[in-house]
Amino acid sequence: MIASRVYDLGSGDHFLELPGFLPPFGTFLKLEGLNPAGSIKIKTARKMIASAEAQGLVSPDVELIESTSGNLGLALAVICAAKGYRITLVTDPNANARTLRHIRALGATVVVVDRRDRAGGYLQTRIDYIRARVATEPHLLWLNQYANPANPAAHRVHTMTEIVTGFGTPDWLFVGTGTCGTLMGCVQGVREQGLPTTVVAVDAVGSVTFGGAPARRWIPGIGASRAPELFADDGSFRKTAVQEVDTVRMCRRVARRYGLLLGGSSGSALAAVAAMRNEIPAGSRVLVISPDMGDGYLDTIYDDAWVAERLGPAALTQDRPTRVHDSVRV
Ligand SMILES: Cc1ncc(COP(=O)(O)O)c(C=O)c1O
């Protein structure tokens, strides 16, 4: 493929089997970390910017602003650099330090808010910061990935097409939830195409998205401390929430067993597969969306001291499988 813009370098067709992960069914990853900007968020960023352009909202006087846990910010920074747009990205201390350095190197402005919100996270603080700026600075355009219909549309159109074309119809599809753009896009795509796929939404324990009690969390990308506007539970998909200790244990187990360094939300989704293994019929093809790779998590999920300090020594234990009671079913 010869592309003329870095963000058009497609990579939607990488699927990896994890042989023997949980016999008697097959577990496969859709590796979105091989996309430009290193995550699934390039699709969301492309679609949101295209939608703003189509509405005539972007001009040389306009500066974009967005709240991000890191990956969307990086994807937006890539596109804005290539298009000559200015952008400010508002994030928090859970974001990968390397991702933030990468974003700054692309010329975007980064603001890190550090006051925890009432749910123990930072999302509301990030959004309050943006609202205050937008109210007084008319040149700012907030893309708002939490409510922007272009976010799920990116996955309904692109992610689901890539799955059906490159993998076929999965029997089960596990999707982590942040803004819920990926989830809702996949749910819509499955419904539109009349697929018999069971979609499982995977959240973090301590996230409020499925109505659970808020609690402090450490791993970025998955979970929300404020209900995402895009989330709409129509009863057509399953929901499960994973403890961060299981996420970390799964990431580290996959790294050593398969030589694959996954990001946190990929570990959460695989931990959810493990927790629900008794419900998945033999012979099923289970597809897990893997939103990013683990390089950005070397100082966190893959760092023994970081893990032991925040999640306790149990998270370092590799010799026991993820147990059903380690994960909370919602
Ligand atoms: C690593 C990672 N996993 C999962 C997600 C969740 O995706 P979505 O926002 O589409 O729910 C994100 C979103 O930022 C992410 O960065």
Q: What is the CATH number of the domain that holds 266?
A: 3.40.50.1100
Rg of the chain over CA atoms, in angstroms?
19
Tell me: do 160 and 299 sit in the same domain: yes
| CB of 179 closer than 6 angstroms to any ligand 1 atom | yes
pLDDT tens, residue by residue, 4-63: 899 988 778 899 999 999 999 999 999 999 999 999 999 999 999 999 999 999 988 999
Closest Cα to residue 280, out of 270, 265, 293, 267? 270
Q: Specify the pTM.
A: 0.94
pLDDT tens, residue by residue, 282-294: 999 999 999 999 9
**Reduced 3-state DSSP string for 297-330:** HCCCCCCHHHHHHHHCHHHHCCCCCCCHHHCEEC
Gap from CA of 225 to ligand 1 centroid (Å):
14
125, 142, 159 - which closes a domain: 142
Q: What percent of the chain has pLDDT over 90?
A: 85
Gap from CA of 106 to ligand 1 centroid (Å):
21
142, 176, 200 - which closes a domain: 142
The reply to whether 68 falls in a domain is yes
Would the pLDDT of 172 be above 90? yes
Tell me: do 163 and 127 sit in the same domain: no
Average pLDDT over residues 233-258: 96
Tell me: do 153 and 138 sit in the same domain: no
112, 142, 172 - which closes a domain: 142
Write out the residue range of the structural domain in which residue 72 sits: 41-142
Q: Assign 238 to helix, strand or coil.
A: strand
| CB of 180 closer than 6 angstroms to any ligand 1 atom | yes
Gap from CA of 180 to ligand 1 centroid (Å):
8
133's CB contacts (< 8 A; 6+ apart) are 65, 88, 140
| CB of 69 closer than 6 angstroms to any ligand 1 atom | yes
Would the pLDDT of 329 be above 80? no
Q: How many domains does the chain have?
A: 2
Gap from CA of 239 to ligand 1 centroid (Å):
16
Which residue's CA is minimally distant from atom 16 of ligand 1?
221
Average pLDDT over residues 199-227: 94
pLDDT of residue 322: 57
pLDDT tens, residue by residue, 101-157: 999 999 999 999 999 988 888 999 999 999 999 999 999 999 999 999 999 999 999
The reply to whether 1 falls in a domain is no
Tell me: do 207 and 289 sit in the same domain: yes
